[in-house]
Structure formats: structure tokens, C-alpha cells
Structure 1
Amino acid sequence: MKTRKIPMRKDIVTNQMFPKKELVRVVKNKENEVAIDPTGKAAGRGAYIGLDVEIAKKAKKKRTFDQAFKIKVDDQFYDDLIAYVDHQQARKELFGK
């Protein structure tokens, strides 16, 4: 059986390539609303961040999504992102892949 190609994406905080399943997609839509995209299929400009709380905290400190989307992103979004990444990381540790 032929092995499948694993889609890779770049984490915008660390600039490292990771398999798509190990990242979280953040999307900006036409109304300049920034949101977490758990499905990875929402319409709009997307950027990826690793499933690590330290990476999410670094993104908040550097205001990474402000630079990536060229808009002012609310602090509440970064807090929600950190909480989401923490939750997903805990799920991954509990249930595995």
C-alpha cells in the first residue's frame, strides 16, 4: 500500500514546519474578525500556531497575529487562544492521537 503524504504547515511564531494535525489554524475573515478555526476549513486568511501553551503565550507577547493579519487583535482573543491550546494539549496527552 502506498504511504500518504503528510501535509505540513509553518508555525508563524517559531517558523518551524509541523504536520497540520499538530497545529491550530487561526483565521481572519472579510469583516476583519479573527477566530480560532478548529475544523481548518473556514473561509478567510489563515495562519497556524503550534499546540503548545508556551508558543501561544509567546504569540501574545509578540502580538504575532497583529503582524500576520495587519490588524489590531484584541487581548481577549489571545487569552482565548491560550485557553484553547491548553485544552487541546491536555486532550492530546489524555487520549493520545
Structure 2
Amino acid sequence: MDYLVTATPTGGLLELPAEDRDALMSRERQVATELIRAGVITWMWRLPDSVTTVAIWSAANAEDLDAHLRSLPVFPHNTLEITPLTFHPAFPAPLGTAASS
């Protein structure tokens, strides 16, 4: 199942000393890269003029998604909004699949 995950850093992350925040973000990039390679994070954007990240995550169920999200070092420093996604009836197959049929 796919999920739309909106993550906005809390003041706690922004208030960390620069050295601590840089180390945390370095670990975050490493874990996120692994999740991207594993196909868990499939798309990611940053909202303009914002620190909010919007991403599409793929997980077997909500419990797996929760485990993946908790693996991120910045997890405790984010406010998350999670929305399960399903295909739209006008596009019952992924667009890339439909175009190649």
C-alpha cells in the first residue's frame, strides 16, 4: 500500500546545536537512501519556502510503515501527517503501466 507522508520538523530539531543537527541529518540521509534503494520511499518533494517534506512511501501495512518511519533518526523531531492512498478510478493502473499497454 502507498502512503502520502508529510513531515514537518518541530522546533526541537531546529533548536539543536548545529553540530548535533548536522550529525543527525547525515545519519538521516544514510537511512533515507537505504529506504529509497529498498523501494520504501518512492517519491519525495520539499514544499517551496518550507522545511516540510512530502513523500510517497510504500509499505505492506500501517505497522510496517510505522517501523520504517521510526527507523529515521529525525523521527522524534517531526510532526507527521499520514494518508493512505489508493488508485483513482480514472487511473486504475500506474501511469507508466497504462502508457506502455
Structure having the larger proportion of residues in strand: 2
TM-score normalized with structure 1 length: 0.33
TM-score normalised over the length of structure 2: 0.32
Structure number with higher relative contact order (C-alpha < 8 Å, ≥ 6 residues apart) = 2
Larger Rg: 2
